């Protein structure tokens, strides 16, 4: 396999083997409904067939609209447009060879020995030749109802005028009906009229010589010989009937990256030759290449393919429509995949192996397959942003029908190859199922490794910075908090029932407490000597309890727990208390929330008239609040108040004693403690 193909398959990509830039950048490739007798004579096309639409100024103003940008890929579209016109002439049976030459100055010449672009005067513009109209008018091509080609990939006139618009120099020579003509253009405009250079007996065809405009592409963007070489070679593989002569005259360019100075491509066995070259040096499941065709290349509905199965690489699938690469696949690819799968399944049934192993999928049969499919479709439709995917539904049917038929024959006629292939694909299917199971297991164990508690509603942000966890007492409050939170940055961990009184609990009991174990897992930072601030999964740890005695008790238990088990978490300023309201005051459309009795009285004094009948509601707990209320009053960073829990230095020494004293005994004492803490902490109110 070539270097490029290898790299490609290593990356698991399966197409674009020639590394040929999609020739599909031109959004409005007009489809041509056409049917020409292959032997139509040169005069059958005349200037009156040309439809004039618009000038080239829009192309220079917005080149991206026509060639998808102004980078190297876009630059190579210009070549694709020109060679596609020559290719069309060959596909229509009028040309037998195409020459491509890149010279040292970056001038690219493409020629063919076809009929030559029409040169007779245009009926609508009698002073202009058809050639000039084709070259200087956007969307001037053959009339689309004309009888030109059966299929067409190129843009004929449309494409070539775009190339002209974007070239600082363009020269077109036409040898037609024994005469040689020439016209020179600059940036889409004719320098002079059509010149008649004299009689020429031994030559016919079209020669287009151009240099992309540095004003458009910049001075650094230039044709890449290797890319051109591969594009040219691809055309020769795709249409075995044409000979492509490559020359890269510039001595310094010759030999770059294995690009020869001269080479002639003529592949009588087309796609098969290509697959043979690409699989060289690889182990094949069976040396036979499954190859076939239906219809005459270039004729509408014609299809050609070649597939070999390699045992030692991922494989690839290169697909083309009208010799134009379809990098994003499409209906011809789905047709091929369907036919190969159906064919092998039918074969398995025939040889009594239908029930063997895991059911095969088309991925199983395409893994390791080195495949190429080429279709010729009249008026193809392309989809996708870069128009690199064939969308014509008929292509699926045409390909599936032709390939399935011949695959059946191939499998039946090559028992050795077909048995090996079946064996190989069944193994792929089993491997796939095995891998899926392993993945499932490793995913489960990854979850276990992280050991996040089931009731944690985690936030989607993975970074600690900017995320917070609300520790909430009880499932109903937890439910409201889950609805009220910002999923991206706020996690909610409901703790059920009162947590253990940690002050009086021994180390073992602490370790066994399921609520605390959940908390430790959710935080991720470890406890005691194992605490690591860097592992803390949230920036803020917010204790959110009811604004009553019980809530204060639970909050105090939690603070005590943090103080004893993760003092560094408090020191680093991660621990906060949420301040849910206790009262809702409403009158005349005004609503206020008060956190305690004093706040309520203050609001009544300041915000309402003395004799107003203010409606005062008292929340029994967080679980009673509507999620929207909880969000607005307590959780929304733009509106809430948080109290940061800190330990002042002078309290630090006595804190252990204080906790001991207060936690060990009466509930009222605990309550005082938390009130004190809160009061102390409120100096620290953070507007987060
Ligand atoms: C190196 C590029 O463009 N060859 C070429 C182009 C045309 C013809 C022949 C041609 C086509 C027809 C009749 C026809 C073009 N024709 C048109 C247009 N080589 C290259 N060779 N006679 C000659 O389509 O019937 C545009 S290009 F507009 F006339 F269709």
115 lines ligand 1 (CB under 6 A): yes
18 lines ligand 1 (CB under 6 A): no
**Protein residue with its CA nearest to atom 12 in ligand 1:** 45
134 lines ligand 1 (CB under 6 A): yes
**Protein residue with its CA nearest to atom 24 in ligand 1:** 148
349-362 confidence digits (pLDDT tens): 999 888 877 899 99
Task: Return the pLDDT at 653.
Answer: 55
CB–CB of 590/609 below 8 Å?
no
Q: Which of the 8 DSSP states describes residue 586?
A: E
Residue ranges and CATH numbers for the domains of the chain are 3-45 (no CATH), 57-265 (3.30.565.10), 286-377+387-432 (3.30.230.10), 468-678 (3.40.50.670)
| Below-70 pLDDT ranges, the chain | 1-54, 139-158, 251-255, 442-451, 497-504, 648-688
- 585: exposed, middle or buried (Cβ count in 10 Å: 0-12, 13-18, 19+): buried
CB–CB of 515/549 below 8 Å?
no
Please report how many Cα atoms fall inside a 13 Å half-sphere around the Cα of residue 514, on the Cβ side: 7
Give the distance, in angstroms, between the CA of residue 567 and the centroid of all CA atoms in the same chain.
46
Task: Return the pLDDT at 91.
Answer: 86
Task: Return the pLDDT at 679.
Answer: 38
Task: Return the pLDDT at 188.
Answer: 96
**Protein residue with its CA nearest to atom 23 in ligand 1:** 117
- 402: exposed, middle or buried (Cβ count in 10 Å: 0-12, 13-18, 19+): buried
45-56 confidence digits (pLDDT tens): 454 554 445 689
**Phi/psi at 308 (nearest 5 deg)?**
-130, 150
Beta bridge partners of 100: 110, 246
160-205 confidence digits (pLDDT tens): 999 999 999 999 999 999 999 999 999 999 999 999 999 999 999 9
Active site positions, annotated: 473, 546, 548, 550
Query: Between 649-664 and 667-681, two packed helices, what is the crossing angle to 10 degrees?
Result: 160
pTM above 0.75, yes or no: no
Site to substitute for ligand 1 among 115, 170, 175, most atoms within 8 A of C-beta: 115
Helix (H) or strand (E) holding 77: helix 72-91
Beta bridge partners of 97: 243
Contacts of 408 (CB under 8 A, 6+ apart): 343, 346, 347
325 lines ligand 1 (CB under 6 A): no
Cα separation of 378 and 152, whole Å? 7
Task: Return the pLDDT at 646.
Answer: 82
114 lines ligand 1 (CB under 6 A): yes
**Protein residue with its CA nearest to atom 4 in ligand 1:** 86
**Phi/psi at 167 (nearest 5 deg)?**
-115, 135
Cα separation of 372 and 393, whole Å? 19
Cα separation of 569 and 525, whole Å? 9
132-162 confidence digits (pLDDT tens): 999 998 865 443 333 333 444 433 334 799 9
Task: Return the pLDDT at 19.
Answer: 30
**Phi/psi at 135 (nearest 5 deg)?**
-80, -25
What distance in angstroms lies between residue 116's CA and the mean position of ligand 1's atoms?
A: 6
Strands of 72-114, DSSP E: 97-102, 108-112
Q: Are strands 468-473 and 540-544 parallel, antiparallel or unpaired?
A: parallel
Task: Return the pLDDT at 36.
Answer: 28
């Amino acid at each position: 396999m070539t270097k490029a193909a290898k790299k490609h398959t290593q990356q698991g990509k399966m197409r674009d083997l020639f590394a040929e830039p999609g020739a599909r950048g031109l959004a409005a490739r007009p489809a041509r409904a056409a049917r020409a007798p292959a032997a139509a004579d040169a005069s059958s096309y005349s200037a009156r067939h040309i439809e004039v639409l618009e000038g080239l100024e829009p192309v220079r103003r917005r080149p991206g609209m026509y060639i998808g940008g102004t980078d190297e890929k876009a630059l190579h579209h210009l070549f694709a447009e020109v060679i596609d016109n020559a290719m069309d002439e060959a596909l229509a049976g009028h040309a037998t060879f195409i020459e491509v030459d890149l010279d040292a100055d970056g001038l690219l010449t493409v020629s063919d020995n076809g009929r030559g672009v029409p040169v007779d005067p245009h009926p609508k513009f009698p002073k202009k030749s058809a050639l000039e109209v084709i070259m200087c008018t956007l969307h001037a091509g053959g009339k689309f109802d004309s009888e030109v080609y059966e299929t067409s990939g190129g843009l004929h006139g449309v494409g070539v005028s775009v190339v002209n618009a974007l070239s600082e120099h363009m020269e077109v020579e036409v040898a037609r009906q024994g005469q040689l003509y020439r016209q020179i253009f600059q940036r889409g405009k004719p320098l002079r009229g059509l010149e008649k250079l004299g009689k020429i007996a031994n030559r016919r065809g079209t020669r287009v010589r151009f240099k992309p405009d540095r004003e458009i592409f910049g001075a650094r963007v230039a044709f890449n010989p290797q890319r051109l070489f591969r594009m040219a070679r691809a055309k020769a593989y795709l249409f075995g009937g044409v000979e492509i002569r490559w020359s890269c005259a510039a001595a310094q360019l010759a030999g770059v990256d294995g690009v020869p100075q001269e080479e002639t491509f003529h592949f009588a066995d087309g796609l098969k030759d290509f697959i043979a070259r690409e699989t060289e040096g690889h182990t094949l499941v069976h040396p036979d290449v499954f190859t076939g065709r239906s219809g005459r290349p270039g004729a509408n509905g014609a299809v050609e393919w070649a597939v070999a199965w390699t045992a030692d690489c991922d494989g690839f699938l290169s697909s083309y429509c009208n010799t134009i690469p379809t990098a994003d696949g499409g209906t011809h690819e789905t047709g091929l995949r369907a036919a190969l799968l159906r064919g092998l399944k039918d074969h398995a049934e025939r040889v009594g192996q239908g029930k063997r192993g895991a059911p095969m999928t088309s991925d199983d049969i395409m893994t390791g397959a080195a495949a190429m499919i080429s279709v010729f479709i009249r008026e193809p439709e392309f989809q996708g942003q870069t128009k690199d995917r064939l969308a014509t539904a008929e292509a699926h049917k045409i390909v599936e029908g032709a390939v399935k038929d011949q695959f059946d024959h191939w499998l039946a006629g090559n028992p050795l190859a077909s048995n090996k292939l079946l064996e190989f694909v069944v193994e792929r299917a089993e491997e796939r199922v095995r891998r899926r199971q392993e993945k499932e297991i490793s995913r489960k164990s990854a979850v276990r490794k992280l050991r996040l508690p089931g009731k944690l509603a985690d936030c989607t942000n993975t970074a600690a910075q900017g995320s917070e966890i609300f520790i909430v007492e009880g499932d109903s409050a937890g439910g409201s908090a889950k609805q009220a939170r910002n999923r991206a940055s706020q996690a909610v961990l409901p703790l059920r029932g009162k947590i253990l009184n940690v002050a009086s609990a021994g180390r073992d009991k602490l370790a066994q407490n399921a609520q605390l174990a959940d908390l430790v897992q959710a935080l991720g930072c470890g406890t005691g000597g194992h605490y690591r601030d860097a592992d803390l999964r949230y920036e803020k740890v917010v204790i959110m309890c009811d604004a009553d005695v019980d809530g204060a008790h639970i909050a105090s238990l939690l603070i005590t727990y943090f103080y004893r088990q993760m003092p560094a978490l408090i020191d680093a300023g991660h621990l906060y208390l949420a301040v849910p309201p206790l009262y809702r005051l409403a009158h005349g459309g005004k609503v206020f929330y008060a956190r305690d009795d004093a706040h309520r009285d203050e609001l009544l004094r300041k915000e309402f008239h003395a004799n107003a009948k203010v409606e005062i509601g008292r929340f029994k707990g967080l679980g009673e609040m509507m999620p929207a209320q909880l969000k607005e009053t307590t959780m929304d960073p733009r509106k809430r108040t948080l109290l940061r829990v800190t330990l002042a230095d002078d309290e630090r020494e006595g804190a252990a004693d204080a906790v001991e004293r207060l936690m060990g005994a009466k509930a009222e004492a605990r309550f005082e403690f938390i009130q004190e803490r809160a009061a102390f902490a409120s100096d620290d109110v953070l507007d987060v």
